[in-house]
Amino acid sequence: MERKLPVGIQGFEKLRTDNFLYVDKTKYIYKLAHNNVPYFLSRPRRFGKSLLLSAMKAYWEGKKELFTGLEIEELEKNNEDAWAEYPVFYFDFNGENYNETSIETVLDGMLSDWEEVYGTQYNQRTLGDRFQKVLELAVEKTGRRCVVLIDEYDKPLLDTLDHKELQNHIKDVFKGFFSRLKKADESIHFIFITGVSKFHKVSIFSDLNQLRDISLDRDYAALCGLTGKEIRESFSPEIETLAKYQELTEEECFNALKMNYDGYHFHLSGEGIYNPYSVLSALFAKDFGAYWFETGTPTFLIHQIKERGFDLRKFTNNTIYTNEAALKDYTGDTLDLVPLLYQTGYLTITDYDKVKKRYTLCFPNEEVKYSFIENLMPAYVPKANAGNGLDIFTLDEYIESGKLENIKDFLTALFANITYTIKDDPFEHYFQSVIYLVFTLLGKIVQCEMHTYTGRIDCKVETSDYIYLFEFKRDDSAEAALKQIDTKDYALPFVADSRKLYKIGVSFDSESRKLIGWEVAEKN
């Protein structure tokens, strides 16, 4: 009988009662619950935050039967106070579009439900007054202090990134509402808050002085997501099946999972974390795909990257730097996109300089790298599609077949079809960006290497029959580009290679914004 994979299951009770597979994370819940300071955890979307909070909710509601056989059952066995039932206030901000639904309506609905449970209504008071009062009444009625769990607190703020007036209104509402967490401190036993990012001017972070941000904490690096060890131990039969469908050995299959979905780091020296949604989706579909990325295209980020002239080459050449304060904070008003790219899961920690206290960020894996680049391409070249032969598979066909004139025509047409939406857009930015996008995407199909440092070939492409060495020049001649290939001996490593080697110098003109020069020489 095929085992049930919890793809998209965010409710802990449903997962346990319907016999879905569960990777046991309850040792973390035990540790968090027995140190009752307020906690904040930032993780990208679809990383298991909602399931974590749902499990916490069940724990604080004393539903011991749901934890049978899990680590926390053994950890709590000698604790006389374990599995007591606490009043739980669970805020779930998922499931609404806050450009259409007011935050007041959502909060009012939650409060109304709790007011029915605890026996009173104060609809004439402010939302904050009602929240504080219902916490106090819950303590009076149950004799226990309250547990407050807030899932995806920043969903309303992320929804409204493009609507600053509405976003500021939501911040104001939150400030008045969540400031009551401090005022009602005597009524609260435990607080846990999740989100993607930290927004300033939200009283959660200014009023909760003891709030412990565990987003970059070594002890909780694997709290959400999956480790390689957990995948091997929990999903061995599913990996075996996936391997058979893909005609791979089990080890090859695991390596493919690692290449596509591993690579997230939530501590400077923490182990790699796999994207749980993508791993489970791949095992369920018995195929590798861009599952996480397909659940939400980062349109705001794509727009901002283009508008701000972000150097796309930095995404893969290990030159995106930041510090811990930036990784943990984001105001929504900063010109620095790096913190939000990290917090939303499009970048991750790849290195840390202890002396400079500097983090290096890069794409975490193949899924994110190629999906992100594919989504960037239409922003720079809107007409690049299969309908007019400007798709990456057409270029691949030309390269595999050694069709030099077709390759030239492709690049010429590509730049001719660029729409320059801003009058003063510097061609240099487009030149660098489009070349990077095209050859990075090509690298998904053939062996393609882009270099960006002086003294290195701009681009090398290898197929079974051909080697192409490209040198690109802006406002210089194609002959100069070709000459650089020779003077720098870029072809030297391939002297003994039997494949046909082409040295190609390409020239672009800033004024006309066109490819104007193309010179080719074969290996001597």
The pLDDT score that the predictor gives to residue 423 is 46
Q: Which pair of structure tokens corresponds to residue 187?
A: 């009524």
- DSSP class per residue in 360-393: EEE--SHHHHHHHHHHHHHHH-TT-SGGGT-SHH
Bridge partner residues of 358 (DSSP): 353
Q: Which pair of structure tokens corresponds to residue 145?
A: 């202090």
Long-range CB pairs of 495-501 (<8 Å, 24+ gap) are 497/467, 499/462, 499/463, 499/464, 499/465, 499/466, 499/467, 500/402, 500/465, 500/466, 500/467, 501/466, 501/467, 501/468, 501/469
Residue type, 294: E
Tell how far CA 322 is from the center of its chain: 17
Count each helix (H run) and each strand (E run) in the chain, helices first.
23, 13
**Contact assessment for residue 46 and residue 292, using Cβ atoms and an 8 Å cutoff:** yes
**Contact assessment for residue 347 and residue 312, using Cβ atoms and an 8 Å cutoff:** no
**Contact assessment for residue 12 and residue 57, using Cβ atoms and an 8 Å cutoff:** yes
Q: CA-to-CA distance for 172 and 170, rounded, in angstroms?
A: 5
Bridge partner residues of 148 (DSSP): 89, 191
DSSP-derived pairing of the beta strands 146-151 and 188-195: parallel
Q: CA-to-CA distance for 88 and 188, rounded, in angstroms?
A: 10
Tell how far CA 303 is from the center of its chain: 17
How is the beta sheet containing 466-474 ordered, strand by strand? 447-450, 459-462, 466-474, 500-509, 514-522
Q: What angle do CA 280, 283, 289 make, to 5 degrees?
A: 85
Q: CA-to-CA distance for 95 and 494, rounded, in angstroms?
A: 56
Question: What's this model's pTM, rounded to 2 decimal places?
Answer: 0.91
DSSP character for 474? E
**Contact assessment for residue 136 and residue 187, using Cβ atoms and an 8 Å cutoff:** yes
**Contact assessment for residue 41 and residue 215, using Cβ atoms and an 8 Å cutoff:** yes
Find tokens 């904070």 and name the residue. 329
Please state which architecture CATH assigns to domain 12-220. 3-Layer(aba) Sandwich (3.40)
Q: CA-to-CA distance for 153 and 170, rounded, in angstroms?
A: 11
The pLDDT score that the predictor gives to residue 422 is 47
CATH 3.40.50 residue ranges for the chain: 12-220
The pLDDT score that the predictor gives to residue 330 is 65
- DSSP class per residue in 68-136: TTSHHHHHTTT-TTTT----EEEEE-TT--TTTS-HHHHHHHHHHHHHHHHT---TTS-HHHHHHHHHH
Per-residue pLDDT of the chain (524 residues; tens, 9 = 90+): 679 999 989 999 999 999 999 999 999 999 999 987 899 999 999 999 999 999 999 999 999 999 999 999 999 999 988 999 999 999 999 989 999 999 999 999 999 999 999 977 666 689 999 999 999 999 999 999 999 999 999 999 988 888 889 999 999 999 889 989 988 999 999 999 999 887 766 767 777 767 899 999 999 999 999 999 999 999 999 999 999 999 999 999 999 999 999 999 999 887 899 999 999 999 999 999 999 988 877 788 888 898 888 889 899 888 999 998 888 776 655 657 898 899 999 999 999 999 999 999 999 999 999 999 999 988 888 877 766 778 899 999 999 999 999 999 999 988 887 766 544 455 667 788 888 999 999 988 888 777 654 467 889 999 999 999 999 998 999 999 999 999 999 999 999 999 999 999 999 988 888 899 999 999 75
Q: CA-to-CA distance for 121 and 118, rounded, in angstroms?
A: 9
Q: CA-to-CA distance for 34 and 17, rounded, in angstroms?
A: 26
The backbone region for 422, taken as left when phi is positive above 0, alpha when psi lies in -120 to 50, beta otherwise, is beta
Could you confirm whether domain 381-522 is CATH 3.40.50? no
Find tokens 């920043």 and name the residue. 154
CATH 3.40.1350 residue ranges for the chain: 381-522
Q: CA-to-CA distance for 365 and 169, rounded, in angstroms?
A: 37
